[in-house]
Amino acid sequence: MKRLILFWGILVILLALPACSAVSVSVDPHQIGQSDTVTVHYSGLPDGTNCSLRVQAFMDVDPGSDFMFQVGNVSLPIGLGIVTFSVKNQNTAYNKIVIREWENEPDEQIYDEITFEGPSVDGTFSKSSVSSNAEEGGDIWQLEDSSTALASVRNVVCSGTIAGQKTTGPSEGTFEVPILASNPGTLRFTLVADGEVADSDEIVIGSPVSSSGRLYITTNPTGADVFIDGVLYGVTDAMIVDVPPGQRVITLTKEGYATWQKTVNVQALRITMLTGITLTPVGAQTGSISVISIPWNAAVYLDDQYKGLTPVTIQGVSAGSHALKVTKDGYKDYSTQATVTGGKTVTLPTIRLVRESSSGTVNSGNAFQDVGLLIKNKGGSGLDAGTILQQISAGNPSSRNDRIRSALDRFR
């Protein structure tokens, strides 16, 4: 019966997966020089799919230096109808990005060209444009990014995206992408199908100085803009990838709420967690709640929002009454009301959690005591307490409770 339930559970999960789960993209090889070619393999793209391919370069640079990154010439084996090009640079001061398009064969004299040029705003430069109709496929594209890094950074992010609706071509295929980069780093290819990130693959260019880290941020309420060293990286709640390692100033902003800021140490190849951040409404008085429990490491919920594990001090709580709940596996939930006064910390009395009782479970410690007492009171039985306790202790721990109950039954 359990196997049947498990089978249907797996089947339901598989049926619930979005259509884009079958879409994949992979890149080979995974280590290239700064002037090299990679082969991209894709699959699971039927006609009618709204898809986009994003190429992101994360490059090590000298502060304030010029750099260059080029992708192309690329010929896709599929038609995309009306094509949209999008570009984005981060950690840059000035930008010049040129997109060139040939029909079928690259020719120096005959091609369409789109140029995006100008200064960054808060370290970010982002533009997009609609290209010609690429209904039949076979067009050749090239992206060239020649820009200048901010004077305060050692990493830049260059992104280029081509998007459209697949009209023709195989659902599975390969194409080559020549790469030319002035600096070492990493390169990520991401395939998006019908609005969902379907798959991605990453390669290394040259010999990067450092690997990037990741930052996971959650806020209450959600929807806060996340700035890292003044550069907008996303909106909460979010897993932000390709964060340059080292000391980073994290700033969260949301209309109607006070700006939140903290300096954190982002480590290469690791995820730095910033969770349960409560944003403070502008003009509202807030306080704090200090929660301690025995045992520790119990989950704390304030107004049904997870706030961390005990002991914990919940910051930025609006003035007034709030519902607080403390939970831990094996213990009964504890609920109470906490009244917060602006500018003050409410320290709750130590919460002593009570163990849950289960009719089907025997407490081993108490059971051993009970066995000893029963044997002592049955002096004429001729049974040795030590022998019985040794028998109970031996064997598989998973069946120890059954052996304890059996021993108890013998003396009742």
Average the pLDDT over 354-370 and give the result.
55
Query: What's the confidence (pLDDT) of residue 144?
Result: 95
Q: Are 298 and 332 in contact (CB under 8 A)?
A: no
Q: What are phi and psi of 7, to 5 degrees?
A: -60, -50
Mark whether 41 and 175 lie in a shared domain.
yes
Domain shared by 36 and 126, yes or no: yes
Q: How confident is the model at residue 337 (pLDDT cuts 50, 70, 90)?
A: very high
The pLDDT-based confidence of 182 (bands split at 50, 70, 90) is very high
Q: Are residues 176 and 304 in the same domain?
A: no
Q: What pLDDT score does 301 carry?
A: 93
Residues 26 and 79 in one domain: yes
Residue with more model confidence, 267 or 397: 267
Same domain, residue pair 201 and 218: no
**Number of domains observed in the structure of the chain:** 4
Q: Decide if 331 is inside a domain.
A: yes
Q: Which tops the pLDDT comparison, 10 or 61?
A: 61
Inside any domain, residue 12: no
Question: How far apart, in whole angstroms, are the C-alpha atoms of residue 141 and residue 71?
Answer: 8
Question: Does residue 357 form part of some domain?
Answer: no
Long-range contacts of 401-406 (CB under 8 A, 24+ apart): 401/361, 401/362, 401/364, 401/367, 404/362, 404/364, 404/367, 404/368, 404/371, 405/362, 405/367
The pLDDT of 40-61, averaged and rounded, is 89
Tokens of 242: 């390709």
Q: What is the pLDDT of residue 367?
A: 46
Q: Are residues 92 and 152 in the same domain?
A: yes
Quick: pLDDT tens for 276-287: 898 888 766 778
Task: Please tell me the predicted confidence (pLDDT) of residue 368.
Answer: 47
90 and 160 belong to one structural domain: yes
Structural contact between residues 56 and 181, judged by C-beta atoms closer than 8 angstroms: no
Residues 6+ apart with CB under 8 A from 56: 157, 158, 159, 187, 188, 190, 242
Q: 277: number of CA atoms within 13 Å, CB side? A: 27
404 and 335, same domain (yes or no): no
* Residue 90: half-sphere exposure toward Cβ, Cα within 13 Å: 19
Q: State mean pLDDT over 236-244.
A: 80
What is the distance between the alpha carbons of residues 240 and 26, in angstroms, rounded to a whole number? 21
The pLDDT tens digits for 73-125 are 888 888 888 888 899 998 899 999 999 888 766 665 677 889 999 999 988 89
User: Contact 299/311 with Cβ under 8 angstroms?
Assistant: no
Portion of the chain with pLDDT greater than 90, in percent:
26
157 and 266 share one domain? no
Question: Token pair of 255, please?
Answer: 């209309």
Mean pLDDT on 311-332? 89
Structure tokens at 334: 């504890």
Based on the fold, state whether residues 373 and 332 are members of the same structural domain. Answer: no
Four-CA torsion 330, 331, 337, 342, nearest 10 degrees: -70
336 or 239, which is more confident? 336
Q: Which domain holds residue 303?
A: 286-352
Q: Please say if the pLDDT value at position 344 is more than 60.
A: yes
Q: Kindly state whether residues 154 and 178 are assigned to the same domain.
A: yes
The domain that contains 328 carries what CATH number?
Answer: 2.60.40.10
The three-point CA angle 195-199-204 to 5° equals 130
**Helices 400-410 and 385-393, packing angle to 10 deg:** 160
Task: Spell out the alpha helix ranges (H) of 17-93.
Answer: none
Instruction: Examine residue 11 and state whether it is found in any structural domain, yes or no.
Output: no
Dist CA 38 CA 31 (whole Å): 9
CB distance 228 to 248 below 8 Å: yes
For 119-175, the pLDDT digits (tens) are 999 888 999 888 755 555 557 889 999 999 999 887 788 989 998 888 888 999 999
Domain contains 320:
yes
Residue 208 phi, psi dihedral angles, 5° rounding: -60, 150
The answer to whether residue 2 is domain-embedded is: no
Q: Kindly state whether residue 159 falls inside one of the protein's structural domains.
A: yes
Exposure string over 99-118, b if 16+ CB within 10 A, otherwise e: bbbbeeebeeeeeeebebee
**pLDDT at residue 405 is higher than 70:** no
Q: What is residue 359's predicted lDDT score, i.e. its pLDDT?
A: 46
Question: Is it the case that residue 8 has pLDDT exceeding 60?
Answer: no
Whether 375 shows a pLDDT value over 60: the answer reads no
Average the pLDDT over each of 36-45, 134-143, 254-263 and give the range with the smallest value: 134-143
Answer yes or no: do 269 and 227 share one domain. Answer: yes
Percent of the chain surpassing pLDDT 70? 77
